[in-house]
Amino acid sequence: MSNNKAESLFAFGLGIGTQNKHGQWLEVYFPRPLLRPVDLEVSAFIEAFGYRGGQQSIRLNADQLHALAKVGPEYAAFAATDRPVVAVFLADDVEPTDVPDAYLKLHLLSHRMVRPGTINMAGIFKVLPNVAWTNQGPVDVAELAELQLKCRTQGTPLSVSMIDKFPKMTDYVVPSGVRIADASRVRLGAYLGSGTTVMHEGFINFNAGVEGPNMVEGRVSSSVWVAAGTDLGGGSSTMGVLSGGNNIPISLGKNCLLGANAGLGIPLGDDCTIEAGLYLTAASKVRILNRDGQITRTMKALELAGRSGLLFRRNSQDGAIECLPNKKSIELNADLHSHN
């Protein structure tokens, strides 16, 4: 790579992070990640930081931090901090190889720079360590007991909110125009479009998201994409690709309704409804009804993947799953999803 060609990079970020006692990264915060940067400043960083090409995470030394302050006022915070600062250069969209470049990609998603499923996140679980997320910051799990004892002897409160590889999104990114009732249920790497409301029981995983406006009272699993105007009812679930053998990314089109405690294991198009309590998997046998309510055939639900205008329900007599044309499209409450 030519040292003056920042535009050939896939992504770049300057981050402030946390390391354990062995100098291993636990997490990194990127206040201004860049996708396919063309900034002249980034071109200068390529030379100043010794970037050699490919994927490279460079912890900045004292001289490099001092030079940052001269670039512009937006870099003053990096130059003044006593925390570890890292510059991450990604030449291509390949799977993450270390904690800083994994966190840069998670930030790209939550900053709405890329949509879920459009960048390479393979292998991220091997890269990210389990971290104790506390009121005193991220802590290496192996170092937690020592900190707990220290805090007890000093009378300092220490609260551990979770042990996980992924932090809360809102500790790093707060997208505009959203409402989140319980921030612990939205992971960094989630994509929340403007107008999104996530209620207390709603959950959005990393590399998953909603276009906005949406009502989310159910679970949006990793790899799932939900289009605008769709409502996920309380306790509902969308099947991800991380476990269970499912390898088909699930999506819901515009103006759909996934009823309370319902589930979805196939992608669907626009204007679809799944009644409350019905879990539709790829192998579910579905009776196809015409507009007159007559059974025309029976097929596996997977054969209906991607289609629009469908209503799925259970027959009240024998419990069979039925599919018929959806005569009613849902409409979200505009006032409820205006968060500007």
Residues identified as active-site = 217
Element (H, E) at 286: strand 285-289
What is the enclosing helix (H) or strand (E) of 41? helix 40-48
Long-range contacts of 263-268 (CB under 8 A, 24+ apart): 263/236, 263/237, 263/238, 263/239, 264/236, 264/237, 264/238, 264/239, 265/239, 265/301, 266/301, 266/302, 266/304, 266/305, 267/305, 267/306, 268/304, 268/305, 268/306, 268/307, 268/308, 268/310
Q: Can you tell me the distance from the alpha carbon of 221 to that of 197, in angstroms, rounded to the nearest whole number?
A: 16
Whole-number Cα distances in Å, 105 to 5, 116, 163, 279, 313: 21, 11, 21, 32, 39
> First CA to last CA across the chain, in angstroms?
42
Spell out a b/e string for 150-187, using b for 16 or more CB atoms within 10 Å of the CB, else e: ebeeeeeebeeeeeebbbbbbbbbebeebebeeebbbb
Which amino acid, 190?
Answer: A
